[in-house]
């Protein structure tokens, strides 16, 4: 998405190389037996008026504006998101433990001398031990694949809602009627998120060169070596994973590859599930923190847009906690979980299941992240290379951030024309 946005802003004088046979990266929609599947949940959250207007101008009436319906499933019940501001409905003993811990943590907030030492410390400092135990630690361990104490808290300001005392009290007695968090509303194309990159690509003056992978970059000579031959450049904007890019730089000092090898990310195994009937509830997605379930989040594509499925059918994406390859022997546990969540009534509701895998899914903000990333970006800038986008920048970010990064990258590229 960042590369497409860069090209759209440049308008001319560029070459857009795409390793895949289509544009958009993980923002893609595939059709399988009449069901349209994205690469898990990809929803457009907009904060920038200019970017929003641009998207609306391209997609027009095909763009849906949706109020988020997300829930948390734990202790056998659904509660509202975010957990830390919605304990109403939990077993009384669990709700009490969460509230007690939150207010104890609140009273200690001003006693800390410095920032949280890690993500686990952040959780306990701002939410308390009860919320840490019942949601924050188990859910984030399943999501990131590492314990929160192995991560920094550098990414949390935007993505982890910190409710007020009043929010927590209201959420404990069922009075929270407003959605908290960065993604309370979102935009979504009727036919799947893949319509967005396709719309941008159709409007480019110079289309992408599909099936053109970068094999190496001669840093000193400023030449990209590709599957279709060498490509010289004055300035290079790249959106490939920073970890991979660092290993492709020829003529770079040895420390560059070492810094790249320190960057960590998790892969993601997930399932696309076609249903013979609509899902059992209208939630867009649900968070599942408890270890006994093999997944940490389940979303319903067909609740985003009915155009994604044949009439009367449904579809889900199931994000698995295990990083191991999915085997058919793992399916019964998934089916049991989907039944407990009320999404299906019986295994016969499932028409087919397609295992999928994303090799680069979530950047891990461990304690080496900040220094290694900063050194790599500085070296690249010195050599006329800008690495941007979610994986190029090596950060946890949203689709709009990629489009904003493309806007900035085009400005940077134009600065080098003289």
Write down the pLDDT at residue 184.
Answer: 79
Length of the chain: 418
Write down the pLDDT at residue 180.
Answer: 56
Rounded-to-integer distance, Cα 11 and Cα 411, Å: 12
At a CB cut-off of 8 Å and minimum separation 6, what does 301 contact?
36, 37, 38, 41, 192, 308, 309, 315, 316, 317
Write down the pLDDT at residue 50.
Answer: 97
Q: Domain locations in the chain?
A: 70-172, 265-363
Query: How much of the chain exceeds pLDDT 70, in percent?
Result: 98
DSSP E strands, 276-375: 285-287, 295-299, 314-320, 350-363
* Res 183 pLDDT > 80: no
List the alpha helices (DSSP H) in 291-388. 301-304, 331-340, 369-382
Q: For the residues 51-69, what does the mean pLDDT come to?
A: 96
Write down the pLDDT at residue 110.
Answer: 86
Buried b (16+ CB within 10 A) or exposed e, 252-261: beeebeebbe
Rounded-to-integer distance, Cα 399 and Cα 389, Å: 9
Q: For the residues 294-305, what does the mean pLDDT come to?
A: 99
* Res 181 pLDDT > 90: no
Indicate the pLDDT class of residue 182, thresholds 50, 70 and 90: low
Write down the pLDDT at residue 177.
Answer: 67
Assign residue 373 a region (left: φ > 0; alpha: ψ between -120 and 50; beta: otherwise).
Answer: alpha
CA distances (Å), 325 to each of 75, 235, 328, 356, 358, in order?
28, 39, 10, 9, 11
Write down the pLDDT at residue 348.
Answer: 98
CA distances (Å), 110 to each of 81, 152, 364, in order?
27, 20, 29
Q: What are 121's two structure tokens?
A: 């410390």
pTM for the whole structure = 0.95
Express each pLDDT in 133-159 by its tens digit: 999 999 999 999 999 999 999 889 888
Task: Name residue, tokens 């800008």.
Answer: 386
Rounded-to-integer distance, Cα 225 and Cα 85, Å: 51
Q: Domain 265-363, what architecture?
A: Alpha-Beta Complex (3.90)
Q: What angle do CA 150, 153, 155 make, to 5 degrees?
A: 120
Indicate the pLDDT class of residue 161, thresholds 50, 70 and 90: confident
Which of 348, 319, 307 has its CA nearest to residue 193?
A: 307
* Res 317 pLDDT > 90: yes
DSSP 83: G
CA distances (Å), 283 to each of 70, 133, 243, 299, 391, in order?
6, 25, 36, 8, 29
Q: For the residues 50-63, what does the mean pLDDT come to?
A: 97
Least-confidence region, from 107-116, 247-256, 262-271, 354-363: 107-116
Asked whether the CA dihedral 187, 189, 194, 199 is positive or negative, the reply is negative
Which one of 81-85, 90-94, 172-176 scores highest in mean pLDDT?
90-94
Indicate the pLDDT class of residue 241, thresholds 50, 70 and 90: very high
């Amino acid at each position: 998405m960042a590369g497409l946005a860069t090209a759209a802003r440049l308008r001319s004088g560029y070459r857009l190389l795409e390793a895949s046979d289509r544009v958009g990266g993980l923002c893609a929609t595939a059709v399988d037996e009449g069901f349209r599947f994205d690469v898990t949940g990809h929803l457009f959250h907009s904060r920038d008026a200019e970017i929003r207007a641009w998207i609306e101008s391209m997609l027009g009436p095909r763009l849906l504006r949706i109020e988020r319906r997300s829930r948390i499933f734990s202790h056998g019940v659904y509660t509202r998101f975010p957990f830390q501001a919605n304990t109403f409905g939990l077993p009384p003993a669990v709700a009490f433990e969460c509230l007690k811990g939150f207010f104890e943590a609140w009273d200690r907030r001003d006693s800390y001398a410095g920032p949280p030492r890690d993500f686990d410390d952040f959780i306990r400092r701002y939410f308390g031990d009860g919320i840490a135990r019942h949601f924050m630690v188990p859910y984030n361990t399943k999501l990131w694949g590492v314990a929160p104490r192995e991560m920094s808290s550098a990414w949390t300001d935007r993505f982890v809602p910190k409710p007020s005392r009043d929010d927590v009290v209201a959420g404990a007695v069922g009075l929270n009627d407003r959605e908290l968090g960065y993604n309370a509303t979102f935009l979504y194309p009727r036919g799947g998120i893949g319509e967005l990159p396709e719309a941008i690509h159709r409007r480019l003056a110079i289309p992408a060169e599909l099936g053109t992978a970068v094999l190496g970059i001669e840093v000193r000579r400023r030449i990209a070596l590709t599957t279709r031959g060498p490509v010289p450049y004055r300035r290079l904007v790249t959106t490939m994973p920073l970890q991979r890019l660092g290993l492709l730089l020829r003529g770079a000092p040895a420390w560059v590859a070492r810094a790249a090898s320190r960057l960590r990310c998790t892969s993601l195994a997930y399932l696309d599930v076609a249903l013979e009937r609509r899902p059992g509830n209208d939630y867009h997605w649900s968070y599942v923190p408890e270890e006994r379930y093999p997944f940490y989040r389940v979303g319903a594509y067909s609740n985003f847009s009915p155009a994604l499925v044949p009439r009367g059918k449904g579809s889900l994406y199931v994000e698995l906690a295990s990083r191991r390859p999915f085997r058919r022997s793992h399916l019964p546990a998934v089916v049991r979980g989907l039944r407990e969540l009320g999404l299906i009534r019986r295994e016969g509701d499932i028409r087919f299941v397609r295992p999928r895998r994303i090799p680069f899914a979530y950047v891990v903000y461990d304690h080496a992240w900040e220094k290694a990333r900063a050194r790599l970006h500085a070296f690249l800038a010195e050599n006329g290379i800008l690495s941007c986008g979610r994986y190029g920048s090596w950060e946890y970010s949203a689709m709009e951030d990629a489009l904003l990064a493309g806007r900035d990258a085009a400005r940077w590229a134009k600065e080098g024309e003289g």
